[in-house]
Chain A
Amino acid sequence: MEKQILEEQKIDNQYDVVVIGAGNGGLTAAAKLAKEGAKVLLLEQHNLPGGFATSFVRGRFEFEASLHELADYGPKSDKGGIRKLFEDQFHLDAEFIRIPEAYKLILTDPKYKMNITLPFGLEKYIDAIEKEVPGSRESITKFFELAKEIRAAFRYIASTHGKPDQGVLMKEYTNFLKTAAYSAKEVEDALGIPEDARKILNAYWCYLGLPMSRINFTLFASMVLVYITKGAYIPRYRSHGYTAAFDTKIREYGGDIFYNTKTEKILVKNRQVVGIETSKGDKITTSHIICNASPTLAYNQLIFPKSEVPEFAYKEVNARIQGLTGFCVFLGLDATVEELGLREYSYFIMDDMDTEAVYESWKKLEAPRGQATVVINNAIPDCSPPGTTMMYITTLFHPDAWKEVKPQDYVEVKNKIAEKLIDHFEEATGAPVKDHIEEIEIATPETYARYTGTYKGIIYGYEPESWDSLVPRLMSMGKDQYIIGLRFAGGFGRRAHGYSSSMSDGYTVALLTLQDIKKEVNQIYE
């Protein structure tokens, strides 16, 4: 009997901390905890680390599953937070390559036609916008000065564990205070940034996935600043290149990792974590859990018994706005980038920059009005065999657009959308993609659900509108733990979604958990 085999293979043990999920947040948290000597167990339901941060092989190609560009890595001479984490903190055996230019923005609506390539580096970037839209320099410069002030304020708030001194904020970071409650659109209006310049400046909006009228300014500005000043990077061997390095490192630090092991229950007693149970029948005792799965999943499905879920936790989940899910067309082409006439790594292609309209188009199963596409060979020429190109087209969807799709119609539905995206790309760039498709894989919301189990296939965390953006989340730190011993890390965490945010969040949450453990030890000896 298989049951008996599983019985023999059960893990029953006690751990200082159990990390649920080996995504970006979970891996970073587990690595830090293991490094600091905590006894850590990392559990992952899939048979690979990474969550979305992974790769897959089809024929001659190893495709990146999700990353477009890693923010906050930075060059050796000006390391960003993530590079410091990888190199100085964990000495991770993973190589990263700098992307040559910021992005190419193509607007295809004949009324707004625009086709411009933007460089990295603040001065060059502002120069490029000024050249395209004369007279925009002053307001764009102000945008970035504000962004710098905001990042400094974030650093300050984080250093106070969410309890900043109001006096310091008022004195040093006034503009941060004054913009914290507003959308990007409201602040850009106030700065008087010309309409055409905004189209260029707002191109990164799709990485956060909510329209300019709703995305919180501080978060948006901070993201754009980090990309433009630090540049963007991708891992040499796709995301699996560094998530596999994390796996190795965690084991080296003495952590345990089990794949194919889904956490089914978070056991709670008197509002305190006491352990977990898994799909393989493991029962593990612990009083600390870092959950890389979303609060939506944890509170609605994992906490056991249900009576231990505080009413406020359900309310919090229901009050927050679920983010978007994705759609991605992975293409292995049997032509070189030169033959295809593709020079850039990153393409933002939209009808026009009406972010509200594009966002609305994602609520229907129709041709999406925007895409973000990357051509990996333009950053890593030998990422695929000689004579080939590897690229992927990404767009977003509101999950409910997909809820009526029947299994027997699924392939036709996804192929139709994929074809429209390819057509749009061909129309924008002139590259004859369709003639050269050697491998094609299409990921839909259903695919993201299949591989990670994320609620409704959502790939972004809760939408960071101003009321629920970084600032109020950080300032609620300490008051947002409804079950003692249970903390969340990752894209659904405090710093909102994105690779670097999820990893920074995992690191912070590991530090908080280490503090908790230390406090307990001190209590025992007191």
Chain B
Amino acid sequence: MAKIVVLGAGISGHVAAAHLRRKLSKEHIVEVVSPNSNYQWIPSNIWVGIGRMKSKSILFPLKPLYKKKHINYKQAKAVAFYPEGDIQLENPYVEVEYVVGEQKGKKEKVTYDYLINATGPKLNFEATEGLNPGQNKTFSVCTYNHAEHAWEGLNALIQQMKQGKKAKILIGTGHAKATCQGAAFEYILNVEQELRRHKVRDMAEITWISNEYQLGDFGMDGMLLSYGGMTMKSHEMVEMIFEDRNIKWILGAGVQKIENGIAHYENLEGEFKTENYDFAMLIPSFSGHGFKAYDKTGNDITEKLFKGFMVVDADYTSKPYEEWTVQDWPETYQNPTYKNIFAPGIAFAPPHSISKPRKSKNGTEIFPAPPRTGMPSGITAKLVADNIIDAIKSGKNELQHKGSMGNMGAACIASAGFGLTSGSGISITTFPIVPDYKTYADTQGRKLGKTFASIGLAGHWLKLALHHAFIYKAKMKPLWWLIPE
């Protein structure tokens, strides 16, 4: 009998738990520890944030599903890691703390044979002074609660605009090293379309603010892509979209401080500037959760497990951008010291960014951190689960399943407006996610045929179809496993 503990019930934790349960017999225990009671399909938060979708459409409670599927579930959060156990307990364990009910605050040692750390990012709002969702007229769409508040804020402003108020809207990244530009990009286009729908577009000035050096960088160093029979750079495509929709942009901006309706930022020129707004949605920086780790005798071994996020089989040697290769990126997401610990999705520490690192004239680093979107989060979770399943079944730790972001494609359907006949989406695929500048030297590190973009109504339908398909899959309904990650 083996016990696999999965920390986190987001995209990667839930995918891993579902595959483990499906492929392992009931004598093995699959246990999920996560503080959230609901599963949420995060990509659809964009539509919650413009009032076109209710949050209940993007979530469902985990407890009944896990009970039905024989997956143990503890609504608790991991606090500390003891990969060697301690002097009293021989087995490796994670110290967890319950977050609800009578047990709230109670700590427990959760032992494991295999551990999957799928705790994703901490939404590090504290890293930017004054950036707090719902305060200082700033909002977030990173969780369904945040997205609901964002819609309340936006709707209130729309009503004021209907009364004649001129408004400034600021959307983008709220930290010099934030990631997830794609989500902010979707939100700005959706907000722009909603303002048109409410017939107040001419009352608003909409501005994109981002730590990207160029538009369309998306934390992926930009892309050369096929678009409508042409080969185009992603910054040209995004520029076309923004100009067409009368959206202004501020680039190379590291937002440092938020006051009520004022964003203070430093740019790559080293200038300190401000931007006023009546409504802002700024993505915070993402960080690790600050977990601690201890060996058997209680010595602090945090650096063996964490570099902010979890240490895995990446090459963390510090080297200049010109020397980065796809081989730096992890393939199995296994911790090199404790081979029964894995970290798929956003939980693993990347070797470096994907975008070229840049500093302002004052030496401040201003560039996007590397994104890990839903598709790679799901794929890496599944391959980790498959390696554990193989190890349990064969007794050998061979790690046959591999998936480097340097040898993996991703599809990202960016919503550009909601509506069955008036909606729009920008469908982008890229292969590989991390550019391989050696193999695809002439096409900016990507394979052109597999790196393409398309804009139009079909993109909205696709995004909507994926919403339904992935919620069906997450609910583990019949044949759910046929739907790919």
Does A associate with B in a complex? no
Interface residues of A (CB under 8 A from B): none
